[in-house]
A and B are shown apart, each in its own frame.
Chain A
């Protein structure tokens, strides 16, 4: 890895570790290998959003050309969000693409992602299904996102109705995550989800 990238990441790593957000448990970074090319990030779901109470794990890959190119970041924790793929965790955020600037750091990236959770951009979606639900039925979107936060990110809000519908599909032999995706995509309409799964 180019020297400048390693040096910078090492400095930034210290910056994040010492930042007040870490003290408040809002963000966190950990090393994955000891040559600073891959890191594990973690952000707390922002308060007053469906993601509140959840912890979202991120994969951060630092390219050789860092900081001239942005770090490659994706969500490891499954999440229901218009700008994040519910399948791959890929993120649609301008600063991770064309709006990256060399003066940005790991800390600002993590804080931007946290801000993205609080303010989705459905008009620039990564996940079209989620984005459509967000625009057409905001309450349904919030319910689904909250359920996913509970199921994958350790969020506190349990929705027995969702769990029940998933269980019914699981009882039919559908894998749990697949059942959750189908139900989430069809606004928790059990009949339509079943139809899609078995057609």
Chain B
């Protein structure tokens, strides 16, 4: 089979190289072989064919291949000497003109001339198809021809590739089988029938299958495990951040980031309020947070308040909260400039009663804690960050 197909491809290869130079006009083309009319004849219904082509057809049919008119192979076919003359006058230049062949000939003779043309490129100097390795036998005289061939024969090349792949893909597996097996045995418990397993190819591929399956199962198992670990880590880091708040013992430092952006937003929308993350006065103490906003009465001032928040163990605490609170704005480089205010909780105010909602609506602190401009002028804001510290302790 291999030899037969090679022959065909070779003859096609030469055919196509002629084509590029001598594709016939429709009136010189035989509808049967689709090539230049060779020894043209005319039917009584007005169609031209090569003599051999139409005679071959009329051996089994008795009608014109183009329009189905009844034709008698002896009386309805006439030599078309007019077209024969026209074709013979169609002088085509030898395709090798690019290399200096000046011969002009009838298109019918191009094929035979090419075989003997002294300017033809010897077969071994022609450009090979890029797919020569996988069995494409076509050769080309120049790059454009090769390009065109590549564009037109994508499917054929894919076919060659897939055939080649079918052949090669088996070999490496078999060659590497022993090494892969060795790796497979590395993980797997030794086979009970060790001798048989390594002797026959079928059991080798079986072993490979088993190895693959084992590896796949391991992957699934490990993936699941890693997912579980992820969840545990997420839970632990959440607990850890809670611990920080629980065990700050009432001293909380709030790094208020994006200062200028948030202040601008507060200026644009006077009701904007920011709350700090919660903190606890002691591990099972009161839960509180700091609130910052611009003073509604004089928007040049920053207001700082402390709010009591609801927590899971509020019922174990004494209400209202009584104790000492302090709020400071810390200067990043000169601690002496830091602003600090200490407050003792006055009795009977709403702010320190046991919260009903998530956080007591009323806070306790200063509506005019500091002038915005002062903070900026004195350098409290560094890296667009303001450091606010709050302490709370029970008495």
Please determine whether B152 and A14 come into contact, CB atoms closer than 8 angstroms.
Answer: yes
Please determine whether A10 and B32 come into contact, CB atoms closer than 8 angstroms.
Answer: no
Inter-chain contacts of A34 with B (CB < 8 A): 5, 9, 156, 159-160
Please determine whether A35 and B5 come into contact, CB atoms closer than 8 angstroms.
Answer: yes
A192 in the interface, Cβ–Cβ < 8 Å? Answer: no
Smallest beta-carbon distance A112→chain B, Å:
14
A99 in the interface, Cβ–Cβ < 8 Å? Answer: yes
Q: Pick from B58-66, B226-234, B347-355, B358-366 the stretch touching chain A.
A: B58-66
A34-B9, A34-B160 are known contacts; what are 18 more A-B pairs with Cβ within 8 Å? A1-B8, A6-B8, A6-B11, A7-B15, A7-B33, A7-B34, A8-B34, A31-B156, A34-B5, A35-B9, A36-B8, A68-B60, A69-B60, A99-B68, A101-B64, A101-B65, A103-B32, A103-B66
Q: In whole angstroms, what is the CA distance A68 to B66 when docked?
A: 12
Q: Which residue of chain A has its CB nearest to the CB of B35?
A: A7
A140 in the interface, Cβ–Cβ < 8 Å? Answer: no
Inter-chain contacts of B68 with A (CB < 8 A): 99, 101
Inter-chain contacts of B57 with A (CB < 8 A): 68, 102
Smallest beta-carbon distance B106→chain A, Å:
19
Please determine whether A35 and B32 come into contact, CB atoms closer than 8 angstroms.
Answer: no
Q: What are 20 sample pairs from A and B whose C-beta atoms fall under 8 A apart?
A: A1-B8, A4-B32, A4-B33, A7-B11, A7-B12, A8-B34, A30-B155, A31-B155, A31-B156, A34-B159, A35-B8, A35-B9, A67-B32, A68-B32, A99-B68, A101-B61, A101-B65, A102-B57, A103-B32, A103-B65
B263 in the interface, Cβ–Cβ < 8 Å? Answer: no
B298 in the interface, Cβ–Cβ < 8 Å? Answer: no
Smallest beta-carbon distance B19→chain A, Å:
8
Residue-wise, chain B 42-56 has the 8 Å CB interface mask toward A (1 for contact) of 000000000001001
Q: In whole angstroms, what is the CA distance A158 to B232 when docked?
A: 47
Residue-wise, chain A 8-43 has the 8 Å CB interface mask toward B (1 for contact) of 101110100100000000000011111110000000
Q: Which residue of chain B has its CB nearest to the CB of A4?
A: B33
What is the interface residue range for chain B against chain A? 20 to 34
What does DSSP make chain B's interface, helix, strand, loop or mixed?
helix
A3 in the interface, Cβ–Cβ < 8 Å? Answer: yes
B320 in the interface, Cβ–Cβ < 8 Å? Answer: no
Smallest beta-carbon distance A25→chain B, Å:
16
Q: Which residue of chain A has its CB nearest to the CB of B19?
A: A11
B4 in the interface, Cβ–Cβ < 8 Å? Answer: yes
Residue-wise, chain A 86-124 has the 8 Å CB interface mask toward B (1 for contact) of 000000000000010111100000000000000000000
Q: In whole angstroms, what is the CA distance A10 to B34 when docked?
A: 10
B278 in the interface, Cβ–Cβ < 8 Å? Answer: no
Inter-chain contacts of A101 with B (CB < 8 A): 61, 63-66, 68
Q: In whole angstroms, what is the CA distance A115 to B320 when docked?
A: 91
Give me the interface of A with B, judged by CB distance under 8 Å: 1, 3-4, 6-8, 10-12, 14, 17, 30-36, 67-69, 99, 101-104
Q: By CB atoms of chain A within 10 A, which of B34, B65, B152, B160 has the most? A: B34
A-B pairs with beta carbons under 8 A, tally: 65
Contact of A17 among B34, B66, B152 (CB under 8 A): B152
> Are A10 and B31 CB-contacts (below 8 A) given A33-B159, A35-B5, A101-B68?
no
Inter-chain contacts of A11 with B (CB < 8 A): 34
Q: In whole angstroms, what is the CA distance A99 to B32 when docked?
A: 15
Residue-wise, chain B 1-43 has the 8 Å CB interface mask toward A (1 for contact) of 0001100110110011000000000000001111100000000
Inter-chain contacts of A68 with B (CB < 8 A): 32, 56-57, 60
Top 6 nearest A-B pairs by Cβ distance?
A102-B65, A103-B31, A101-B65, A35-B5, A103-B65, A103-B66
Q: By CB atoms of chain A within 10 A, which of B16, B65, B68 has the most? A: B65
Inter-chain contacts of B4 with A (CB < 8 A): 35
Q: In whole angstroms, what is the CA distance A187 to B46 when docked?
A: 51
Q: In whole angstroms, what is the CA distance A12 to B61 when docked?
A: 22
Please determine whether B155 and A6 come into contact, CB atoms closer than 8 angstroms.
Answer: no
Q: In whole angstroms, what is the CA distance A17 to B34 when docked?
A: 16
Please determine whether A8 and B33 come into contact, CB atoms closer than 8 angstroms.
Answer: yes
Inter-chain contacts of A1 with B (CB < 8 A): 8
Contact of A31 among B15, B33, B159 (CB under 8 A): B159
Inter-chain contacts of B152 with A (CB < 8 A): 14, 17
Q: Which residue of chain A has its CB nearest to the CB of B29?
A: A11
Q: By CB atoms of chain B within 10 A, which of A1, A68, A104 has the most? A: A68
Residue-wise, chain B 108-131 has the 8 Å CB interface mask toward A (1 for contact) of 000000000000000000000000
Q: In whole angstroms, what is the CA distance A30 to B65 when docked?
A: 26
Chain B positions 140-159 with a Cβ under 8 Å from a chain A Cβ: 152, 155-156, 159
Q: Which residue of chain A has its CB nearest to the CB of B12?
A: A10
Q: In whole angstroms, what is the CA distance A144 to B374 when docked?
A: 85
Smallest beta-carbon distance A94→chain B, Å:
11
Q: Which residue of chain A has its CB nearest to the CB of B68?
A: A101
Q: Which residue of chain A has its CB nearest to the CB of B9?
A: A34
Inter-chain contacts of A8 with B (CB < 8 A): 32-34
